[in-house]
Each structure stands twice: as structure tokens, then as C-alpha cells.
Amino acid sequence: MAALLDARNVVEIGTGCGISGVWMMRGMRSDGVLTSVDIEADHQRLAKQAFTDAGIAPQRVRLISGAALEVLPRLTAGHYDLVFCDGDKQEYPQYLEQARRLLRPGGVVAIDNSLWHDRVADSGVRDADTLAIRETLSAVADDENFISVLVPVGDGLLLAQKR
């Protein structure tokens, strides 16, 4: 997706161990910068090592330790080509709101775990994570400012382009 967008500026919510960040960096422009937010300092330490091992220059990665919903409002509106959401599932609706603000026209929000272990399609499943993911999917479907597709790979990936 980063390569398709010729992405220069990407936000990742949920750094994890850096694998998704490495893959996004490989698709980004050579002058691209990844801003990755995670509340867990250990995740960012592991990611930093993954970026180093992959040969990614340190100035191309901005690791921000903190709660996503506190960090995202401080990022520049309309500046990002891609926002990748893989953080706290219960915060997905708020991540979507922030992605709307952060994305440039033509930018894409990618929401991981959109099928959530096949729970999203089962209306009988009503745990907080599943409900939040359903709410996010509905909000994208109802928003005429997004063109979206749900890709049924792995645990599901929702891609929505901002018009």
C-alpha cells in the first residue's frame, strides 16, 4: 500500500516489534518518514532494532512512546499518505476520527484485524473489542468521504481512501 501511494509520510498506530513498519518503509519513497506510536517502550525498543537490522536510516523513523489518542491530535492535519491502525481495538473508532484529520486527500487508512477472528460477522458476539471494530467498519461504510474495501486476508484488513 505504501508503494501504491508513493508514500512519503506514514503513521503507524501500534509499533509492535517493527515488522509492519519495516514492510511499510520498504514501500515508501526513499525520503519517506514513518511515525510510529506505541504505549509500550519495549515494543519500540524491539522495533528500533528491527529497523536497524533492515538497514533503515534512523532519521527515517520517528518512534513516539505514548498513548495513541494523546499523541495523534498533536500530529499535522492533512500531512499523511497512510495511517495504519493496529493498536487497542476499543480505540479504533477514535483512530478513524484521527485518520480523517491526518490524511491528505487520496490518502488511505488501513485498519488491521477488521474481521477479528471471524467475530465481526457473528452478530451474537458482543465483546467490547468486536463492538468497537464493528462501529469502525460501519462508520467507514457510512462516510461518503471514504471509498473502502475489506480485504479478507489473515484477520482482515479494511482499506479506506479519503476522497
In a domain, 3, yes or no: no
For the stretch 20-60, pLDDT in tens is 999 999 999 999 999 999 999 999 999 999 999 999 999 99
CATH number at residue 150: 3.40.50.150
In a domain, 1, yes or no: no
Residue 103 lies in domain = 9-162
- How many whole angstroms separate alpha carbon 103 and alpha carbon 100? 6
Helical packing angle, 92-102 and 128-142, nearest 10°: 30
In a domain, 2, yes or no: no
The pLDDT of residue 14:
97
Give the list of residues 6+ apart from residue 142 with CB closer than 8 angstroms, or none. none
Cell of 64: 513516539
Residue 93, strand partner residues? none
In a domain, 4, yes or no: no
In a domain, 60, yes or no: yes
Class of residue 85 by CB neighbours under 10 A (exposed 0-12, middle 13-18, buried 19+): buried
What is the reported pTM? 0.97
In a domain, 106, yes or no: yes
Tally the domains of the chain.
1
The pLDDT tens digits along the chain (163 residues) read: 999 999 999 999 999 999 999 999 999 999 999 999 999 999 999 999 999 999 999 999 999 999 999 999 999 999 999 999 999 999 999 999 999 999 999 999 999 999 999 999 999 999 999 999 999 999 999 999 999 999 999 999 999 999 9
In a domain, 148, yes or no: yes
Q: In the chain, which ranges are continuous DSSP H helix? A: 19-27, 41-53, 68-71, 92-102, 128-142
